[in-house]
């Protein structure tokens, strides 16, 4: 799970819409914060953004205000405490979206911080409402997700806004992904998992997933008694899920079949009441829990057994306490597990949030384990193997296909200007990354001069058009053979301006494409819809027609070198840009069409670029989408910003 982080993108001067978890406990009578650990946990990402000159806009929920403003859940006290911790002013907006919030965002200076009011004061937050997500997205240029605790929820502030801009992880989220991702995807062996808590039903998915990965599974907490009863042991007044007894038997059988050692406690500490100072005693599994008593902790023999099983482990995940650790009388089992993990110097030890995190914090051992998760529910779902929407919406760092940045210079730059700019690119881009291709397409009269300068640099030269004949009485046209003789390697065909201004039809574009392939030129085949077609809901219809006619008579072999560029015509030279989600949707349609027409291999190996008002501020968000393999760049290719586009792609492919 290799996700983009805040380090991977340029943030100076950018409005960072950062989702943090400031859901801190408040004193009911005074409204004062009683524990600021969650605020402190977010400080490294916030401070990094400030130091890099970003404009930091923080979003968080607090409590459960049920979709409307409630003064007792205001983030105003959080903003005040954050200011104290940062030793810097922190502005507070009494609304999350709206005119006042927008004015406060506009007034932000580089390196300054603004806290928006509670996101859950708005019903659109938990509903992930598209309209409210759009409104929220207008507040920022880049989304930073540093709230793992909400990663299992598809809300507007963590998933909705990511449909409009690039989402990257903050440092806290990065750490969660690194450690929980490793234990889920590639744990070092032996791998021991410890599960506790009250109910088997809360952990069914986790147990089933761990049976495919773990070597040993230790079961404690009240859930142990459902297993005990399934095995015929007495459970007294202990918490038992009678409707899960058959499930417990099945899980034990599945563990045996999978070769996973499922270890249950052999004794338990029991008492008549769950109270401090209540008389207690230890009973074995064979003795069973007497009537009138309840099991409240694992016993000493079980502690010793669990410690033996933990010895030599290379990966340990712990989710759920062994007993009622909040009461000292019944905390020995949980304390012993925490101390055992603290002693495993050569193992990755991950605490799965919730009560386990609270327990290890209570015992002062959080600094002695590898990682304590900040999200109980999120960590549980991740251990189940579920896809968390808050993680899925963060951009991927590495792509399966190489990336291409192609600059279309159109009818700009005289031959001398073109040569001069080629030298600027040569110096600024330097050595080309093996997975990031760079092509520039000057005017016909500048091709040879630019090619002379860039030869051997790794920066390729393409043409903006060609005629589908090698020679003849075609006044004003240029043939593919002429382009090849100069050293040109690729050619743009079917560009929206050729279609609109010069009335090129699909049939002519198809002829050009076939001729380019015949002459071993790489065609960059352009297609896309105009505004009227998009607004009429005909985008896919238009794309399908252009694909069918433009690629007519080509088979999988003919498609081997074809590059496709999706240009939403309404977003070219207008200042508008398709959102990353819109670009991904259209390009995914194209890739799916290719699969149906030419097969899986062609679909997965064809580079599909996006072209439409690309600039450094939006390129990372577009490039982060799984089906987008680069950009066909217009205006930004005429400036040094083209170099920054290449750098962004390199960072994302590092």
**Among all residues, which ones are annotated catalytic?**
495, 567
- CA pair distance 563, 490, nearest whole angstrom: 10
Contact 166, 39 (CB under 8 A): no
Q: CA angle 565-570-574, nearest 5°?
A: 110
| Other C-beta atoms lying within 10 Å of the C-beta of residue 409 | 22
Q: How many residues does the chain have?
A: 654
Q: What is the 3-state secondary structure (H, E, C) of 585-616?
A: HHHHHHHHHHHHHHCHHHHHHCCEEECCCCCH
564, HSE (Cβ side, Cα atoms, 13 Å): 28
Contact 406, 441 (CB under 8 A): yes
The CA-to-CA distance between both ends of the chain, in Å, stands at 14
- CA pair distance 469, 483, nearest whole angstrom: 12
Exposed / middle / buried, residue 485 (Cβ in 10 Å: 0-12, 13-18, 19+): exposed
Residue 36: CB partners within 8 Å, gap ≥ 6? Answer: 24, 81, 85
Residue 515: CB partners within 8 Å, gap ≥ 6? Answer: 466, 468, 469, 470, 480
Q: What are the φ/ψ torsions at residue 270 (nearest 5 degrees)? A: -120, 155
Q: Coil, helix or strand for 107? A: coil
Residue 63, sorted as left (phi over 0), alpha (psi -120 to 50) or beta, turns out to be: left
Whether a cis peptide bond, with omega within 30° of 0, leads into 190 is yes
Distance of CA 375 to the CA centre of its chain: 16
- CA pair distance 546, 526, nearest whole angstrom: 9
Q: Coil, helix or strand for 39? A: helix
124, HSE (Cβ side, Cα atoms, 13 Å): 15
Whether a cis peptide bond, with omega within 30° of 0, leads into 247 is no
- CA pair distance 299, 644, nearest whole angstrom: 62
337, HSE (Cβ side, Cα atoms, 13 Å): 34
- CA pair distance 566, 495, nearest whole angstrom: 10
Segment holding 217, helix H or strand E: strand 216-219
Of 219, 433, 432, 413, nearest to 333 by C-alpha is 219
Instruction: Give the pair of three-digit tokens for residue 222.
Output: 């009240």
Instruction: Give the pair of three-digit tokens for residue 85.
Output: 């911790």
Instruction: Give the pair of three-digit tokens for residue 14.
Output: 């950018």
Segment holding 19, helix H or strand E: strand 15-19
Instruction: Give the pair of three-digit tokens for residue 585.
Output: 């949707």
Residue 14, sorted as left (phi over 0), alpha (psi -120 to 50) or beta, turns out to be: beta
Residue 249: CB partners within 8 Å, gap ≥ 6? Answer: 230
What DSSP letter does each residue of 385-400 carry, written as one string? TPPPHHHHTSPBS--S
């Amino acid at each position: 799970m290799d996700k983009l982080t805040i380090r991977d993108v340029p943030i100076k001067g950018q409005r960072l819409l950062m989702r943090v978890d400031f859901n801190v406990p408040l004193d009911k009578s005074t409204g004062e914060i009683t524990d600021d650990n969650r605020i402190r946990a977010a400080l490294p990402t916030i401070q990094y953004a400030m130091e890099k000159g970003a404009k930091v806009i923080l979003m968080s929920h607090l409590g459960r205000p049920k979709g409307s403003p409630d003064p007792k859940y205001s983030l105003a006290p959080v903003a005040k405490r954050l200011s104290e911790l940062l030793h810097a002013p922190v502005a507070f907006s009494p609304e999350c979206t709206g005119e006042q919030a927008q004015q406060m965002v506009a007034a932000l200076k580089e390196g300054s911080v603004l806290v928006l009011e509670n996101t859950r004061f708005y019903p659109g937050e938990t509903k992930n409402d598209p309209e409210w997500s759009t409104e929220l997205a207008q507040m920022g240029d880049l989304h930073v997700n540093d709230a793992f605790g909400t990663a299992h929820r598809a809300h507007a502030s963590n998933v909705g806004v990511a449909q409009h801009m690039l989402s990257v992880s903050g440092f806290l989220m990065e750490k969660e992904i690194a450690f929980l991702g490793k234990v889920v995807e590639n744990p070092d062996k032996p791998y021991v998992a410890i599960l506790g808590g009250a109910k088997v039903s809360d952990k069914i998915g986790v147990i089933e997933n761990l049976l495919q990965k773990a070597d040993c599974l230790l079961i404690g907490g009240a859930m142990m008694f459902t297993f005990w009863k399934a095995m015929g042991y007495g459970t007294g007044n202990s918490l038992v899920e009678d409707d899960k007894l058959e499930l417990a038997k099945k899980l034990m059988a599945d563990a045996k079949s999978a070769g996973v050692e499922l270890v249950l406690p052999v004794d338990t500490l029991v008492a008549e009441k769950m109270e401090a100072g209540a008389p207690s005693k230890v009973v074995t599994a064979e003795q069973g829990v007497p009537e009138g008593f309840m099991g409240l902790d694992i016993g000493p023999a079980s502690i010793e057994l669990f410690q033996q099983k933990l010895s030599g482990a290379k990966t340990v995940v712990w989710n759920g306490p062994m007993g009622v650790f909040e009461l000292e009388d019944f905390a020995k089992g949980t304390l012993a597990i925490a101390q055992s993990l603290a002693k495993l110097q050569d193992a990755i030890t991950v605490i799965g949030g919730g009560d386990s995190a609270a327990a290890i914090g209570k015992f002062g051992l959080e600094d002695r384990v590898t990682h304590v998760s900040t999200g109980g529910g999120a960590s549980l779902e991740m251990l189940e193997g579920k896809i968390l929407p808050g993680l899925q919406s963060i951009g991927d760092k590495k792509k399966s296909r190489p990336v291409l940045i192609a600059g279309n210079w159109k009818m700009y730059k005289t031959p001398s200007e073109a040569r001069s700019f080629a030298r600027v690119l040569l110096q600024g881009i330097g050595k080309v990354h093996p997975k990031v291709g760079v092509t520039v397409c000057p005017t016909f009269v500048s091709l040879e001069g630019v090619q002379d300068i860039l030869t051997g640099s790794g920066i390729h030269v393409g043409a903006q058009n060609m005629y589908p004949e090698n020679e003849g009485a075609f006044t004003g046209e240029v043939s593919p053979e002429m382009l090849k003789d100069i050293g040109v390697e690729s050619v743009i065909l079917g560009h929206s301006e050729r279609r609109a201004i010069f009335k090129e039809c699909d049939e002519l574009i198809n002829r050009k494409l076939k001729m380019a392939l015949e002459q071993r030129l790489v065609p960059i085949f352009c297609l896309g819809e105009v505004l009227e077609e998009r607004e009429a809901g005909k985008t896919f219809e238009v794309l399908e027609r252009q694909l069918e006619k433009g690629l007519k008579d080509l088979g999988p072999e003919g498609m081997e070198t074809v590059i496709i560029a999706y240009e939403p015509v309404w977003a070219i030279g207008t200042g508008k840009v398709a959102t990353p989600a819109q670009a991904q949707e259209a390009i995914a349609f194209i890739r799916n069409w290719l699969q149906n027409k030419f097969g899986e291999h062609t679909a997965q190996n064809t580079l599909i670029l996006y072209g439409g008002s690309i600039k450094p501020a939006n390129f990372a968000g577009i490039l982060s989408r799984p089906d987008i393999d680069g950009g066909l760049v217009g205006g930004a290719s005429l400036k040094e910003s083209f170099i920054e586009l290449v750098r962004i792609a390199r960072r994302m492919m590092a």
